[in-house]
Homo-oligomer: A and B are copies of this chain.
Amino acid sequence: MPLPDDAQLISVDDHVIEHPRVWLDRVPARFGDAIPHIERLPDGNDWWIYEGQKAGNFALNAVAGKPREQFGVEPRTYDDMRPGCHDIADRIRDMDIDGVWAQTCFPNMAGFAGRVFEAARDKDLARACVKAYNDWILDEWCAYAPDRQIPVALLPYWDTEAAVREIYRVAEKGARTYTFLELPHLRGFPSYHTDHWDPLFAATQETDLTVSVHFGSSGKSDMIPPEGGLLGNTVNEITVMGLNSGFAMAQLLTSPLFHKFPRLRFALSEGGIGWLPYLLERIDYVWERHRWYNNINREIPPSALFADHIFGCFISDRAGIVNRHLIGVDNIMFESDYPHSDSNWPHSRKQLAEALADVPDDEARKIAELNARRVFNFPRTSAAR
């Protein structure tokens, strides 16, 4: 049974390329040249310049529609990418071509969870940049097609009080989720095992937002050797990024977090799902043996927390689909990853339908649409029916 035609495909991991005026139009002018802006440098490339320094380009992050043989070196200017990368009207057209009805978009220049702003010198400017991004993504990008875009906010997470204020502000404006560090300790912050994030997650639970932790959002770990990274062998590095989500999940499920916040939801963005059955089984095996001398809940097996709290997604993952009942069909979502290199644009819906050929209709509907609508509190509108 292929994907039913009336299922509206929702992708829970896509990306925007911020257009050149996102911050120029919204950050107070007193910050002057320090405001993130685009300059075409003598190397012929468009670069983000922030606080006087290069803050990234687009290579590999805006390749939708390109032949794979060109991956890696292109694009380096706005002229060399599909307008759908940064223009919402074009994005909706590209989604229509791809068979994707709605999506969540993560930032590019800012880093998956905003670590470019975390690392900045001027924290007043950084907070203003986060606010500007949120106003842009909510008021311009998502407002253009509110039934087609699930709003993803950024947080000034390095300042817990400011992050809590921003959670209430963006929730009021319609955000459904925010992007957060998958492994905060990799950026020098306390881990999920600590109480450090309690005010932030209390606000998250109160506003009913979902926490989206995108693989790679905490930056590089030491698991990738220099020769296996972007300058030598990206296949090594990109292959294992989904395992980062496994480390995040194990930390979440062994921490006190879901005991403290019983309605909190985490989406493992771009993490894949095929490794989930292994890790869910393994975590209980270890808990059974080692709970007695550890600072961990001794009554509830960690895997029992998964169903209510953690949601995975996939692009192409035969092992995960075959084993969907070992994961829980309610905890699996789809992602198209437009315009990144993992994307199958313009064939996302076609390829998903093929991948779900042996999956019953009711399960396919959940995976393609219904789970994302529930997890992100994003019901069908009457206009969309």
Which residues of A pack against B, CB within 8 Å?
68-73, 183, 185-186, 190-194, 221-228, 232-236, 238-240, 242-244, 246-247, 250-251, 254-255, 272-275, 277-279, 281-283, 285-296, 302, 315-320, 322-323, 326, 341-342
Contacts and interface: CB of A to CB of B under 8 A. Distances in A.
Given A193-B225, A234-B286, 4 more contacts: A71-B290, A223-B244, A238-B290, A272-B278
B68 A232 contact: no
Contact of A275 (B251, B279, B292): B279
A283 B233 CA distance: 12
Nearest to A231: B295
A225 B185 contact: yes
Contact of A240 (B222, B246, B281): B246
A235 B71 CA distance: 40
- Nearest 8 pairs between A and B by C-beta? A274-B278, A72-B293, A191-B225, A277-B319, A193-B227, A185-B225, A236-B254, A275-B275
Contacts of A192: 225
A282 B242 contact: yes
Nearest to A227: B193
Contacts of A273: 278
Given A233-B193, A235-B294, A274-B278, A225 B246 contact: no
B194 A227 contact: yes
B242 A294 contact: no
A326 B319 contact: yes
A235 B283 contact: yes
B235 A293 contact: no
9 contacts: A183-B223, A183-B225, A192-B225, A228-B255, A235-B291, A236-B255, A274-B279, A277-B319, A281-B316
A323 B320 CA distance: 10
A254 B235 contact: yes
A240 B282 CA distance: 8
B279 A239 contact: yes
A382 B279 CA distance: 41
A122 to B, nearest CB: 28
Given A281-B318, A319-B281, A323-B319, A68 B233 contact: no
Taking each of A228, A275, A278, which has the highest tally of chain B beta carbons within 10 Å of its own beta carbon? A278
B247 A223 contact: yes
A286 B70 CA distance: 14
A342 B287 CA distance: 11
